[in-house]
Chain A
């Protein structure tokens, strides 16, 4: 049977990816340019017996998906700009309480209301450090409508597997672009559900590390009863201020994402013409589309250019970027912000190669010629 094909907007592809991944609860609040995700979910979820709720504000939307996830649902919210700022408090809650959920951030400019209908990539650092306190972060950054579908599925998988909030960042350009989508067959993409406890209910501890760094999670309303708090807690879920317990919990919650095995599992990059490259354009999201064009053009002009595209932004692909830094003469980082990921690249490559940024925050996309000009200048 031929696969289902459709012309979908990025935001619609996101909703379809969520449904493929088994999402059965959406809590949201309207905001441009992410609203279409909510609109599709509002129409589709009742068809499968799922739940859609438009909450009174962004914070309430985030709260509702954490509550529903603790009751066993696979949950999603979507927002942009100031909406994401408002969600930060409870993104931190989902981190410390280790509640799986997926947050879509269709990036626009800023700060504050900024330019709601214009694209931006200025939430890269917010996705890493937006909520207060030490915490791990997983953020994925698709660059096409098809990839929005598959990365949304992957976001659910990672949220369930690592028991934490996962953010999907794409900008308004990809969010509102329409492209051909080939729907994967059911079973074609892996769909992961959280690990349920195997111990009897009376032995269950919601943060039991005897099974590894990601404790199994029960659901409210099952045979398991448990306590969840935003305070630092011990294995049994109850608050503690004991120094050694707090320290161990904080470190475990970061280690579960940043240990080498987890990084290898979570990191995802695209490498394009890197093997013999003398200069590499490190680009993510819609900017990588201009970067690919620029690399092709530079190759035609005889310049050995390549592109490195992190699809997983966080955790940052430190090891591979450091290797590329050793290999090339220069790395050019185009971003629709005034410099965010370039500092992460600088931290990793140190002084092993030249480094230059190309930045734009006027609401228009970066063009291939801007990238080409910067590559030529830096070489």
Chain B
């Protein structure tokens, strides 16, 4: 029997705003399956986003949802989680939103290791505003504000998250639909800050400027560049040139922020 997505979608809120061929819908389906697999209760779950195409996702989902300001999802979510640590808090959004204008909130949420799951859809571009380069647009690529090629080096978002202190960091792509839900579910179950980077495609504003003739071409590229971390261990640096590691890239146990604060409360009240 086909999986029932409808039970998690707000009645009357579809169709979504995403262009044909955009991977955000694949990610949303993965998120729905992941939340379901974790048995999350709607009333005890908050989904928080910033601004941009990917940040419209919470509006379609029948949970507590908060569509905040540009880049601020992690900071709003931190407030919710601190106020009600018993809630499951999930952030979702794009690369420009999360790592450029929201970069400071992002790295500090990682550093605190607050128990949240952040689904970061990296489509290499500011899509909603029409295709300006983001902090993850590859060097040399074309965007509406890099008509001669992007001079900026780009972030490796997963490395950024690991460096900042996130205790669960995973990466997959919109092509690997069956891996998205599993990684998000693992992130939700992980106690601490979980970052799931999903390499995504934006055919409308990124693909057409960068010689991807079709959505299929973009999806093929995502398939080709992805190398599971397990397979990468057996590959040479030459073989890994131009590839991106996928799967669980980092996992560690470290005290979770709200639990640490709860201990402070207990100590102060006991004294």
A binds B: yes
Q: A71-B80, A223-B43 are in contact. List 7 more A-B contacts (CB 8 A).
A: A46-B264, A56-B75, A56-B104, A60-B78, A63-B72, A64-B76, A64-B78
Q: How far is A222 from B64 in the complex, measured between Cα atoms in Å?
A: 10
Query: Would you list which residues of chain B between 194 and 215 have a CB under 8 Å from chain A?
Result: none
Which A residues between 209 and 235 are near B, CB-CB below 8 angstroms? 220-231
Residues of A within 8 A of B87 (CB): 71, 220-221
Q: A260 an interface residue at 8 Å Cβ cutoff?
A: no
Specify which of A64, A67, A221, A239 is in contact with B43 (CB 8 Å cutoff): A221
- Residues in A whose Cβ lies below 8 Å from that of B59: 227, 229, 238-239
> In this assembly, does A51 line the interface, its C-beta being within 8 Å of a C-beta of chain B?
yes
B242 at the interface (CB under 8 A from A): no
Tell me the A231-247 residues at the B interface (CB within 8 Å). 231, 238-239
A64 to B258, CA, bound (A): 14
Known contacts A71-B83, A222-B43, A238-B59; A63 and B64 CB within 8 A of each other: no
Partner of A55, one of B42, B67, B78: B78
Q: How far is the CA of A67 from the CA of B78 in the complex (A)?
A: 7
A93 to B72, CA, bound (A): 11
The A/B interface has a contact count, at CB < 8 Å, of: 129
Closest CB in chain B relative to A338 CB, distance in Å: 32
Is the CB–CB distance between A227 and B58 below 8 Å? yes
Mask, A69-101, CB within 8 Å of B = 1, is 111110100000000000001100100000000
Q: How far is the CB of B105 from chain A (nearest CB, A)?
A: 5
* Residue pair B84, A72 in contact (C-beta under 8 Å): yes
Residues of A with C-beta under 8 A to B63:
225
User: Which chain B residues lie closer than 8 Å to A63 at the CB level?
Assistant: 68-69, 72, 75-76, 78-79, 105
- Chain B residues within 8 Å of A226, by CB: 64-65
Is residue A57 within 8 Å, beta carbon to beta carbon, of the partner chain? yes
What residue of chain A has the Cβ atom nearest to residue B42's Cβ? A225
Secondary structure at the B interface, as helix, strand, loop or mixed, is helix
Does A316 lie at the interface of the complex (its beta carbon under 8 Å from any beta carbon of B)?
A: no
Interface CB pairs A-B, < 8 A, 21: A46-B261, A60-B75, A60-B108, A63-B76, A63-B79, A64-B75, A64-B78, A67-B66, A67-B77, A67-B79, A68-B83, A70-B66, A70-B79, A71-B87, A89-B69, A90-B69, A220-B80, A220-B87, A221-B87, A227-B59, A227-B65
* Interface check B269, CB cutoff 8 A: yes
Bound CA–CA A244/B261 (angstroms):
47
Closest to A27 in B: B79
Question: Shortest CB–CB separation between residue A353 and chain B, in angstroms?
Answer: 44
Q: Is there contact, CB below 8 Å, between B105 and A56?
A: yes
B78→A53 contact, CB < 8 A: yes
B residues less than 8 Å from A60 (CB atoms): 72, 75, 78, 104-105, 108
B82 part of interface (Cβ distance < 8 Å): yes
Residues of A within 8 A of B79 (CB): 25, 27, 53, 63-71, 75
Q: Which residue in A27, A65, A221 is a CB contact (below 8 Å) of B44? A: A221
Say yes or no for A3: interface residue by CB 8 A criterion.
no
Q: Which residues from B are CB-within-8-Å of A67?
A: 48, 66, 75-80, 83
- Judged by a CB distance under 8 angstroms, whether A49 is at the interface is yes
User: Using a CB–CB distance below 8 Å, which chain B residues touch chain A?
Assistant: 10, 13, 42-44, 46, 48, 58-59, 62-69, 72, 75-80, 82-84, 86-87, 104-105, 107-108, 261, 264-265, 268-269
A51 to chain B, nearest CB (A): 5
Q: Does A376 contact B (CB under 8 A)?
A: no
- A121 vs B68: C-alpha distance in the bound complex, in angstroms? 31
User: B46, B68, B104, B105: which contacts A220 (Cβ < 8 A)?
Assistant: B46
- Whether B80 lies near A70 (C-beta < 8 A) is yes
In the complex, chain B residues whose CB is within 8 Å of the CB of A230: 67-69
Residues in chain A near residue B105, CB distance under 8 A: 56-57, 59-60, 63
* A-side contacts of B107, CB under 8 Å: 56
CB-nearest residue of chain A to B51: A230
The reply on A4 being an interface residue by CB < 8 A is no
Please indicate the chain A residues that have their CB under 8 angstroms from the CB of B78 in the complex. 53, 55, 60, 63-64, 67
Instruction: Tell me, rounded to whole Å, the shortest Cβ–Cβ distance linking B35 to chain A.
Output: 14
Q: How far is the CA of A198 from the CA of B150 in the complex (A)?
A: 55
Contacts of A223 in B (CB 8 A): 43
Query: In the complex the two chains form, what is the Cα distance from A238 to B17 in whole Å?
Result: 14
A67 to B80, CA, bound (A): 5
Docked Cα-Cα span, A46 to B67, in Å, equals 30
Enumerate chain B residues within 8 angstroms of A225, measured Cβ to Cβ: 42-43, 62-64
In Å, the complex CA distance between A219 and B67 comes to 15
Contacts of B83 in A (CB 8 A): 25, 51, 67-68, 71-73
Q: Specify which chain B residues have a CB less than 8 angstroms from the CB of A46 in the assembled complex.
A: 261, 264-265, 268-269
Q: Complex: how many Å from CA A19 to CA B42?
A: 32
